[in-house]
Amino acid sequence: MKNKRSLAAGIIILLAAAIAIYALSTGKAAVNTFGKLKMESKDGLLAIGDDVFVSADPEGTVNMTLFVSQGKGTLIDAGFNEKQAKVLQDYIDKNKIELQNIIITHTHEDHIKYLEQFKKEGVEVFGPENTENGQVIVCGADELRILDTPGHASDNHISVEIVKHGVLAAGDVVTTSFVPSMGYGSSTEALINTLETIKGKKYALIIPGHGMPMSGKAAIELNLGYIEKLKKSVVKALQEGTAVQKIDIPLQSVVDDDAIISAKGADAVNKNNIREMYYLLKNANK
Ligand SMILES: [Zn+2]
């Protein structure tokens, strides 16, 4: 089971990056605006406003987000890919940014590989283990706020609010390049609750763990919308008494996004999600 999950994770990571790069290279992300925030490419990174920088990875991995205030920086997640880490390190060096904090959303390996590289003397490291919900982390003249967002990793998961912009660096509880992976070392119920919480906060923009940043509304619609549609279909199958292995819910019936539907491996994740949802509903009915 663990190997299957690692394989699925690998596939997801590759796809997320491929799609992100495709979007960058086709200029889809040239300039986008979210409320007052502008998002454009800069120095191999995606610049959001003039103080948030998201890495986009050519080899296939997770988003790393750098927030800068008065020359001080906070890095959210420490990546997986060498080139990606280098682009970000170069940006930090070139702009003489003093890294103050590193915040790790969860300890899956694609989020922590370059932690040691970025962790210089005096850099404080935060993660699910040593933070509390609502905790404020100061960066320069600005504040970041921790939001507990369980539902993806067994050792808990946090997201980071960039308070001044109403932006959430969500980590892997939100993905925009793939269907959500349910039961990923945590409970589906927790993931649904987390997505509802995020929805209620009405973020202008969400930076997902994998995939392109999106308006908060669109990102939640994509993730929660999928889960809600899947739930409806599984409820119907349960009512009809269909055996779990016979439940057939095609991706097209639960997702609208063509890129996600055609993403390699999405079908297998969807099948796993059907099982997760089936047992969640079955146990709830006991
Ligand atoms: Zn990840």
| 253 is a domain residue | no
Q: Are the C-beta atoms of residues 177 and 260 closer than 8 Å to each other?
A: yes
**Among 7-16, 95-104, 210-219, 257-266, the least confident range:** 7-16
- Distance separating alpha carbons of residues 263 and 126, to the nearest angstrom: 33
Q: Are the C-beta atoms of residues 145 and 136 closer than 8 Å to each other?
A: yes
The 3-class SS string of 57-69 reads CCCCCCCCEEEEE
| 286 is a domain residue | no
Which band of pLDDT confidence, cut at 50, 70 and 90, is reported for residue 259?
Answer: confident
Please calculate the CA angle 96-100-106 and round it to the nearest 5 degrees: 120
| 35 is a domain residue | yes
Which band of pLDDT confidence, cut at 50, 70 and 90, is reported for residue 10?
Answer: low
Q: Are the C-beta atoms of residues 265 and 12 closer than 8 Å to each other?
A: yes
Average pLDDT over the chain reads 89
Average pLDDT of the segment spanning 222-250: 96
Higher pLDDT, 258 or 201: 201
CA of 180 to the centre of ligand 1 (A): 11
Q: Tell me the HSE value of 264 on the side-chain side, using a 13 A CA sphere.
A: 9
CA of 237 to the centre of ligand 1 (A): 31
Q: What confidence score (pLDDT) does residue 30 get?
A: 64
CA of 254 to the centre of ligand 1 (A): 22
| 127 is a domain residue | yes
**Among 15-24, 98-107, 199-208, the least confident range:** 15-24
| 278 is a domain residue | no
DSSP assignment of the chain: -HHHHHHHHHHHHHHHHHHHHHHHHTTTTSEEEETTEEEEEETTEEEETTTEEEE--SSS----EEEEETTEEEEE---S-HHHHHHHHHHHHHTT-EEEEEE-S---GGGTTTHHHH--TT-EEE-GGG--TT-EEEETTEEEEEEE--SS-TT--EEEEEGGGTEEEEEEEEESSS---TTSSS-HHHHHHHHHHHHHHT-SEEEEEES--EEHHHHHHHHHHHHHHHHHHHHHHHHTT--GGG----GGGT---HHHHHSTTHHHHHHHHHHHHHHHHHHHT-
CA of 210 to the centre of ligand 1 (A): 6
Radius of gyration of the chain (CA): 19
Q: What confidence score (pLDDT) does residue 6 get?
A: 64
| 196 is a domain residue | yes
CA of 18 to the centre of ligand 1 (A): 14
Residue-number span of the structural domain to which 74 is assigned: 2-216
CA of 209 to the centre of ligand 1 (A): 6
Which band of pLDDT confidence, cut at 50, 70 and 90, is reported for residue 11?
Answer: low
CA of 46 to the centre of ligand 1 (A): 18
CA of 257 to the centre of ligand 1 (A): 20
Q: What is the pLDDT of residues 72-94, one digit of tens each?
A: 999 999 988 888 899 999 999 99
Q: What confidence score (pLDDT) does residue 23 get?
A: 53
- Distance separating alpha carbons of residues 64 and 209, to the nearest angstrom: 8
Average pLDDT of the segment spanning 130-145: 98
Number of domains in the chain: 1
Q: Structure pTM?
A: 0.86
- Whether 29 has a pLDDT exceeding 50, the answer reads no
CA of 175 to the centre of ligand 1 (A): 9
Q: What confidence score (pLDDT) does residue 104 get?
A: 98
- Whether 21 has a pLDDT exceeding 60, the answer reads no
CA of 16 to the centre of ligand 1 (A): 10
| 64 is a domain residue | yes
CA of 111 to the centre of ligand 1 (A): 6
CA of 185 to the centre of ligand 1 (A): 12
CA of 282 to the centre of ligand 1 (A): 29
| 179 is a domain residue | yes
CA of 108 to the centre of ligand 1 (A): 7
% of the chain beyond a pLDDT of 90:
70
Which band of pLDDT confidence, cut at 50, 70 and 90, is reported for residue 5?
Answer: low
Q: Are the C-beta atoms of residues 151 and 190 closer than 8 Å to each other?
A: yes
CATH label of the domain that carries residue 143:
3.60.15.10
CA of 240 to the centre of ligand 1 (A): 36
